[in-house]
Amino acid sequence: MVVDMDYFYAQCEELRNPSLKDKPVVVCMYSDRTLESGAVATCNYVARENGVRSGIPIFKAKELLRGKPWVFIRPDFAYYEAMSKNIIDLLREHCDRLRVESIDEAYLDVTSRTQGDLQRAEDLAKHIKSSMLEKLGFRCTIGIGPNKLTAKMACDLCKPDGLLAVREGEFLMRFGHLPVDRLYGVGGRTSAKLNEMGVKTIEDLAKKEAHVLQKAFGRRLGLYFHLASQGLEDEPLVEWRREQVGRMATLKEDSRDIEAIRESLTAMAEEISSELEASGLNYRAVGIVAVDTSLKQHSRSKTLKTEEEGSEPMVKVGVELFKELLDGEPSLVVRRVGIHVSSLKSKAGQTELTRFY
């Protein structure tokens, strides 16, 4: 199963303030260059009915919602993380194995508890959806399939508040007509290349012979497209630990000024540090990302001698890494900065973090 929360950040906002429900709610990543600059992180379905989408500029969203009782909100990551933790805890009760895929999404292996019976999996999914609503107040969408790929595609197809089980052998019937870029793993550039080869839909792709795709995309990827377009995938679900916690922000203006960068890193490091604190984790590696004015990314990271906690060591190493980067690249002008920590360990003394959530 794939469980994905509907319009997650905005749904979190509605949950703590139900008066928002009938209004278009837009959660924005302000870049703070000017009052209106930045992009939409997500929005509720009332806003989507008016054309608002993740990633569009804030001013564009305001144009689309002109005259409507819109609500624009800054994200409250600590709150969303706390909600996410409750959600994951609830999901864990209903599966054999779980992999947290992102803040609002998880893969659940339910094979042994349903004895591989899709009907039983569907009943279980109904139960999960109703507990999610009754206990936590959240709506979600669940996709079910004989493998992860099918479950994920089923989930994407029946949003929001949906439930769809796709059986073995039904993959092409369900998804064959979709544009090829809707196949999990096919990005923009790949789909352009496929279109040139006359492949418009997933079904077109399924008809191509493996060697043709391998010639165009290389052995591994070609084989993946050949199999995936027929719904074939059999990688077992491996539990993941969330191995990195980080933040990105846009500088007030493009800059090489280390003090401006330090200020931005400090704000982000404090957020990261409170997130780690809440989960009882410390870190042993720090990394930074700089996005330059031509949107090229540069990154550096450093493993520390000992485990650290709190924002101070994070900022110190982050600033060092930025200095190093700027010294090495005299023409680099920074637009966005990011900082993250990894090699996370539980402070409780385990050498391995077996359960982040």
Q: Quick one: which of 268, 276, 262 has its CA closest to 247?
A: 268
Nearer to ligand DGT, 251 or 319 (CB): 251
From candidates 1, 41, 142, 199, binder to ligand DGT by CB under 6 A: 41
Distance CA 91, CA 357 (A): 11
Binding to ligand DGT (CB under 6 A) within 13-32 occurs at 29
Q: Considering the complex, what minimum distance in angstroms separates the CB of residue 175 from ligand DGT?
A: 18
Nearer to ligand DGT, 55 or 67 (CB): 55
* 187 is a contact residue toward ligand DGT (CB under 6 A): no
Q: Quick one: which of 354, 97, 95 has its CA closest to 238?
A: 97
End-to-end CA distance of the chain: 19
The phi and psi torsions of 33 (rounded to 5 degrees) equal -75, -50
Nearer to ligand DGT, 76 or 109 (CB): 76
Q: Considering the complex, what minimum distance in angstroms separates the CB of residue 100 from Ca ion?
A: 11
Q: Considering the complex, what minimum distance in angstroms separates the CB of residue 353 from ligand DGT?
A: 23
Distance CA 87, CA 81 (A): 10
* 233 is a contact residue toward ligand DGT (CB under 6 A): no
For 53, other C-beta atoms within 10 Å of its C-beta total 14
Region of 105-113, 202-210, 260-268, 306-314 interacting with Ca ion (CB under 5 A): 105-113
Nearer to ligand DGT, 185 or 218 (CB): 185
* 273 is a contact residue toward ligand DGT (CB under 6 A): no
Q: Does residue 105 have an active-site annotation?
A: yes
H-type helices in the chain, by residue range? 8-16, 45-49, 58-64, 77-92, 118-131, 148-157, 171-175, 188-196, 202-207, 210-217, 219-228, 258-279, 311-328
* 55 is a contact residue toward ligand DGT (CB under 6 A): yes
Nearer to ligand DGT, 57 or 160 (CB): 160
From candidates 14, 81, 105, 271, binder to Ca ion by CB under 5 A: 105
Token pair 């709506």 is at which residue? 139
* 275 is a contact residue toward ligand DGT (CB under 6 A): no
The one catalytic residue in 13, 14, 81, 105 is 105
* 213 is a contact residue toward ligand DGT (CB under 6 A): no
Q: Quick one: which of 240, 336, 328 has its CA closest to 288?
A: 336
Q: How many residues does the chain have?
A: 357
Q: Are 357 and 85 in contact (CB under 8 A)?
A: yes
Contacts 24+ apart (CB under 8 A), 158-167: 159/4, 159/6, 160/6, 160/7, 160/45, 161/6, 163/122, 163/125, 163/126, 163/129, 165/118, 165/119, 165/121, 165/122, 165/125, 166/231, 167/118
Q: Considering the complex, what minimum distance in angstroms separates the CB of residue 341 from ligand DGT?
A: 19
Distance CA 75, CA 73 (A): 6
Maximum Cα interatomic distance, the chain, rounded to a whole number of Å: 62
- Among Ca ion, ligand DGT, none, the one that 241 touches (CB under a kind-dependent 5 to 8 A) is none
* 60 is a contact residue toward ligand DGT (CB under 6 A): no
C-alpha of 10 from chain center: 15
Q: Considering the complex, what minimum distance in angstroms separates the CB of residue 102 from Ca ion?
A: 5
Q: Quick one: which of 139, 133, 183 has its CA closest to 157?
A: 183
Region of 5-13, 87-95, 251-259, 340-348 interacting with Ca ion (CB under 5 A): 5-13
Binding to ligand DGT (CB under 6 A) within 92-111 occurs at 103-105
- Among Ca ion, ligand DGT, none, the one that 42 touches (CB under a kind-dependent 5 to 8 A) is ligand DGT
From candidates 2, 3, 8, 321, binder to ligand DGT by CB under 6 A: 8
From candidates 4, 13, 156, 275, binder to Ca ion by CB under 5 A: 4
Distance CA 39, CA 41 (A): 6
* 84 is a contact residue toward ligand DGT (CB under 6 A): no
DSSP-derived pairing of the beta strands 25-30 and 163-165: unpaired
Query: Which residues here bind ligand DGT, judged by CB under 6 A?
Result: 4-9, 29, 41-42, 54-55, 103-105, 159-160
Query: Which of the residues are catalytic?
Result: 105
Query: Which residues here bind Ca ion, judged by CB under 5 A?
Result: 4-5, 8, 104-105
